[in-house]
Amino acid sequence: MKLKIYGSGCAKCQQLAANVEAAATTLGLDYELEKITDVTRIIDAGVMRTPALSIDDDVLVEGKVADVDELVALLG
């Protein structure tokens, strides 16, 4: 599973990344996490608000820090 965090690297972006890792670990998933901070790549992905999360190139969370329970539901 390929997970991408889009954002500037701010505290909210870091929290979303930590929550994603916690959710993936809870589910025992084999995943790759990439953090994308380049504005051009963020725009090219269609992300209008950060932080954002894509799962296998589908943006499913945008403009908020999803909690671990929400991410478990998305990833499961």
Total structural domains within the chain = 1
Residue that is written with structure tokens 């403009």 in the block: 63
pLDDT of res. 25: 96
User: Are 75 and 23 within 8 A, CB to CB?
Assistant: yes
**Closest C-alpha to 37, from 51, 48, 23:** 51
Quote the pTM value.
0.94
Summarised one tens digit per residue, pLDDT across range 15-68 is 999 999 999 999 999 999 999 999 999 999 999 999 999 999 999 999 999 999
Instruction: Report how far residue 69's alpha carbon sits from residue 73's, in angstroms, rounded to the nearest whole number.
Output: 6
Domain range for 47: 2-75
Amino acid identity at 30: D
Give the pLDDT of residue 9: 94
CATH at residue 47: 3.40.30.10
- In this prediction, residue 55 carries a pLDDT of 96
Q: How far apart are CA 3 and CA 60, in angstroms?
A: 11
Active site residues: 10, 13
